[in-house]
Amino acid sequence: MSAIKSIKYRLIFWFLSVSSVIFTGLGIFLYYELREIVIGSVDRHIETEIQLLASWLREEEEHGHLEMEVVELSKAAVGEYAVSLSGHYYQIVSSSGKVIARSPSLSIANAYLPLENNLSQTPRIKTITGPEKGLLRLMSQSFKVPSDTITIQAADTLQEHYQLLDSFRNTILIVFPLTFIFSWIGILIITDLSLRRLKILSKKVGRITAKNLNERLEQQNMDSELMPLVDSFNTMLGRLEESFNRQGLFLSDASHELRIPTAVIKTSCDVTLGRERGAKEYEDTLRTIAGMANRITDIINRILEVSRLEGSTFLLKLSDVDLMDIMQDVVRLIEPFALSRQITIKLNGSSMNIKADRERLIEVFTNILDNAVKYNKPNGRVDIEVSKWGGEAIVEVADTGMGIPDNEKERIFDRFYRLDASRNMTAGSGLGLSIVQAIVKAHGGRVEVKSEGDKGSCFIVYLPMGS
């Protein structure tokens, strides 16, 4: 299994398959090509011999003593044609099938070349077994002479040539597998070398754990092919580190948030239990504890809500809703609280239909309005304007409160972030605006905040009209 999944072994397997096909093909091709060349040269030699014999015959015919001179003709043959069964033969056959003349190499041994049945004036060639049991290349060609049609047959042994071919084949059979083995070793080394970089890289990646997520892979001395991998790893590490840090920050913020009510409970108990007390004091302490327990529950619920909103389990129930109608509901919800602080809320705008989650939007604007009232000056105002611009519904909530310093505008949407601990009196958990942000983002919208000095702040919610 592991061999199949290894890049190295796959590379070797493919290399072996491809190179064995190439080497075998090349070997076969070279062998047959050489054989063609060798036999071709034999054939040309025989053909020249036949042409030579034919011109001799024509010359003799002109003198009219064809029959007489055949012996002369055969005597004229010299060298290898004169040696018995040398593998170089010729014979001249009349149309009646009688051998008129043959080379001494045949006549001494009293051997004949096999006769050709279908005579033709174009040369016919084939490979036969000769009188000396070796392979022969035999060519037959007929010529018309005034008295008759004679056939000249000439043959040459292939024995030496086949020996050459055999030794060539043997060379191929030795050299090619050797080449094959050497290149196999070569490819083993090459894959090892190129995979070593990957191994080093994977070791480096392996060294990065949750404890040293701030480390990055070096880009120096890295092969250009591995650069995209290194880049992707570094990008991924960056994202991981960010989410790790956010998670850590969230946990420390959450625990910090929970420490305050816990400290109140703990100290209340310590002080109250410090001495014998009356029923009224015990009751007061229990009330304090109950209040703090509510606050802890509220913090936990909001933590859960934020993590749900930021997670994937958050689904919007979209329907056609009138944004103005939602705002009127929210204003009705907040009005008693606003009145208790002598704050006037004014809502401007007209009916506007959008596709949204009604309950969630009520949550969004309740949070925003709650802040606008909570952090307002006494006798302050909250002005709400509902309008549209370029396919977006816009809700602006402006208050006459203490405003938000420029350097804190970015952070107010962070979980648990609170501008000022003094605003803590109303027991906010510091999660309201991050919930607002999450819901508006889920709708495909965005939240902006404007604030100029201490003239109050303005929250602007942009929501797409339809989705």
The 52-81 site mask, x for binding other proteins (CB under 8 A), equals: ------------------------------
- CA pair distance 194, 196, nearest whole angstrom: 5
Q: Is residue 411 near other proteins by the rule CB under 8 A? A: no
- What are the tokens at 224? 């250009």
What residue type is 105 in one-letter code? Answer: S
Q: State the minimum distance, in angstroms, from the CB of residue 422 to other proteins.
A: 3
Binding-site size, other proteins (CB under 8 A)? 24
Select the residue interacting with other proteins from 220, 351, 425, 453 (CB under 8 A). 425
- CA pair distance 369, 374, nearest whole angstrom: 8
* 155 DSSP β-pair partners: 89, 138
Contact in structure between 344 and 308 (CB atoms under 8 Å): no
Q: How far apart are the first and last CA of the chain?
A: 50
- CA pair distance 362, 332, nearest whole angstrom: 11
Q: State the minimum distance, in angstroms, from the CB of residue 445 to other proteins.
A: 32
- What are the tokens at 80? 């290898």
Instruction: Supply angle C-alpha 205, 208, 211, rounded to 5.
Output: 170
Interface positions, 273-302, toward other proteins (CB under 8 A):
274-275, 288, 291-292
Q: State the minimum distance, in angstroms, from the CB of residue 267 to other proteins.
A: 5
- CA pair distance 398, 372, nearest whole angstrom: 7
Select the residue interacting with other proteins from 193, 210, 279, 421 (CB under 8 A). 421
Contact in structure between 78 and 61 (CB atoms under 8 Å): no
* 152 DSSP β-pair partners: 92, 141
What is the Cβ-side half-sphere exposure of residue 460, based on CA atoms within 13 angstroms? 12
Binding piece for other proteins, criterion CB under 8 A, among 72-80, 219-227, 267-275, 382-390: 267-275
**100 versus 254: smaller Cβ distance to other proteins:** 254
Q: State the minimum distance, in angstroms, from the CB of residue 278 to other proteins.
A: 14
Q: State the minimum distance, in angstroms, from the CB of residue 421 to other proteins.
A: 5
**126 versus 266: smaller Cβ distance to other proteins:** 266
**119 versus 289: smaller Cβ distance to other proteins:** 289
Q: Is residue 324 near other proteins by the rule CB under 8 A? A: no
Residue ranges that bind other proteins, judged by CB under 8 A: 252, 256, 259-260, 262-268, 270-271, 274-275, 288, 291-292, 420-425
